[in-house]
Amino acid sequence: MKQRFRLVLAFAVLLQFTAAAQDNSAKDWKPLFNGKDLSGWKQLNGKAKYTVSNNEIIGTTVPNEPNSFLVTDQDYGDFILELELMVDTSMNSGIQIRSLSKADYKNGRVHGYQVEVDPSTRQWSGGIYDEARRGWLYPMELNLAAKPAFKNGQWNKYRIECIGTSLRTWVNGIPAANVVDAETAKGFIALQVHEIYKPEHTGKQIRWRNIRIQTNNLKLSPADEVFVVNTIPNNISAQEQKQGFSLLWDGKTTKGWRGAYKTSFPAKGWVVDHGEFTIKASDGSEGGVGGDIVTEKEYGAFILKFDFKLTEGANSGVKYFVTEKEKGASAIGLEYQVLDDERHPDAKLGRNNNRTLASLYDLIASARTPAARKPIGDWNQGVIKVFPDNKVEYYLNGYKMLEFVRGSQAYLDLVAASKYKDWENFGMAKTGHILLQDHGNTVSYRSIKIQELK
């Protein structure tokens, strides 16, 4: 009897503690919308209609107007935001976070992070876009499992966490985007009504309700398996670390790298400066000044992330499954092409554009996706995924560019029609080095990181 009493008492105490914790958590939340009027908000840029009815904010499209934004009077830095929304399926919209409007930037154009609302068949809801600035940071091709989370014709619940440099989103409880970025630390929250391009889309509506924010007692949600886009140079985020990523280059030294076919790092050509790994241009020699460099370690299945920056007319590449068994001007291996397509002649060679940026060099052309390609001189993010079943995927700035399966008949046929036809078992090594190519042009790399897969 005494033991049962102790158990009942302990359970009662636990219930009280849980209730108190929930009550304290509830106190941390504050409404951003009073359910009656638009107090605490103002409208910027376009002149779409914003009204209040039935405890909802209703945004209605109008013709011949740019994107419209209903903006909080207050700026927010670190916060957790939750809201519900329902949108007409012909519309596109978004939730601005840490956003800005300045007279000296595009005449007050609202710009900054936007969490996507996309009822189209593209299904990019929950992705993160940088409005009027850098474009897509997290297209939802990086997280296919979250694409069906958004439900057309229904209320959808969004959760957005902005804590430090971590930006994460959930749609209906499904984790969507995960971005680590330091571009903007504080700004307003805004509800977007996108401009329309067809007269028949006039009068379409998006509705928001139950908008609340938490700015105190913030804690990052537990790490998950969602792919992370990290724009901070040579940085491993908490979630990347949890997933098993590590820096393949430390951003400071040449540790872990050596010259291809050599025992030491090249004495000239390659420069480490300001967190960038740069191969300097040669005097015209295609072989370059320093030559290719490779990792000291070999890798099998992996996910490789790397940033690269091209100069005008530059050519380079990231190779993998490099065994150094074959001698040549450049060590042999499967290659992620790094190239200025507009100015380097290699883009016109090969077959069907298979030597262009983000192609599997001389084998498979990358997708012709203009939004994936940034101006020369900007940093790009490349990703190579090599799975244990030999499936390989390439990404450029969040866009999927191609996929293939090593050893498949389709792959073997491509090799037989390529410059590699005479190399025995080309690209089929179980493990190999990762290589950065010196092709005689100035190209910079950084944020080279790897997750080994089993």
Same CATH fold, 244-452 and 29-214? yes
Class of domain 244-452: mainly beta
d(C-alpha 319, C-alpha 386), whole Å: 12
Per-residue pLDDT, 1? 42
Q: Give 152-190 pLDDT, tens digit per residue.
A: 999 999 999 999 999 999 999 999 999 999 999 999 999
Has residue 21 got a pLDDT over 70?
no
d(C-alpha 52, C-alpha 31), whole Å: 15
* Between 24 and 278, the higher pLDDT residue: 278
CATH architecture of the domain with residue range 29-214: Sandwich (2.60)
Per-residue pLDDT, 326? 75
d(C-alpha 260, C-alpha 139), whole Å: 35
Has residue 10 got a pLDDT over 90?
no
Per-residue pLDDT, 413? 97
Q: Give 272-327 pLDDT, tens digit per residue.
A: 999 999 999 987 677 788 999 999 999 999 999 999 999 999 999 999 999 998 77
Query: ∠237-322-270 over CA atoms, to 5°?
Result: 65
Instruction: Return the SS3 of 18.
Output: helix
Has residue 404 got a pLDDT over 80?
yes
d(C-alpha 319, C-alpha 336), whole Å: 6
Has residue 22 got a pLDDT over 70?
no
Cα dihedral 230→234→236→240 (10° resolution): 50
Percent of the residues in the chain that have a pLDDT greater than 70, as a whole number: 93
* Between 44 and 2, the higher pLDDT residue: 44
Work out the mean pLDDT of the chain and round it to a whole number. 93
At 8, list the tokens.
């009942």
Instruction: Return the SS3 of 318.
Output: strand
Least confident window among 154-168, 192-206, 214-228, 257-271? 192-206
Residue 333 and residue 415 in contact, taking contact as beta carbons nearer than 8 Å? no
Alpha helix positions (H), 299-361 = none
Has residue 20 got a pLDDT over 90?
no
Residue 390 and residue 406 in contact, taking contact as beta carbons nearer than 8 Å? yes
Q: What burial class does residue 360 get, using C-beta atoms within 10 Å of its C-beta: 0-12 exposed, 13-18 middle, 19+ buried?
A: buried
Q: Residue 24: which pLDDT band, with cuts at 50, 70 and 90? A: very low
Beta strand 174-180 with 229-230 is parallel
Q: Give 345-399 pLDDT, tens digit per residue.
A: 999 999 999 999 999 999 999 999 999 999 999 999 999 999 999 999 999 999 9
Per-residue pLDDT, 26? 73
Instruction: Return the SS3 of 422.
Output: coil
Residue 436 and residue 316 in contact, taking contact as beta carbons nearer than 8 Å? yes
Q: Residue 23: which pLDDT band, with cuts at 50, 70 and 90? A: very low
Has residue 3 got a pLDDT over 70?
no
Has residue 341 got a pLDDT over 90?
yes
d(C-alpha 122, C-alpha 141), whole Å: 9
Residue 126 and residue 145 in contact, taking contact as beta carbons nearer than 8 Å? no
Has residue 2 got a pLDDT over 60?
no
Q: Residue 6: which pLDDT band, with cuts at 50, 70 and 90? A: very low
Q: Give 190-210 pLDDT, tens digit per residue.
A: 999 999 888 889 999 999 999
d(C-alpha 95, C-alpha 77), whole Å: 15
The domain limits of the chain are 29-214, 244-452
Per-residue pLDDT, 25? 60
Per-residue pLDDT, 12? 41
Stretch 241-250: mean pLDDT? 98
Per-residue pLDDT, 328? 64
Has residue 337 got a pLDDT over 60?
yes
- pTM confidence score: 0.91
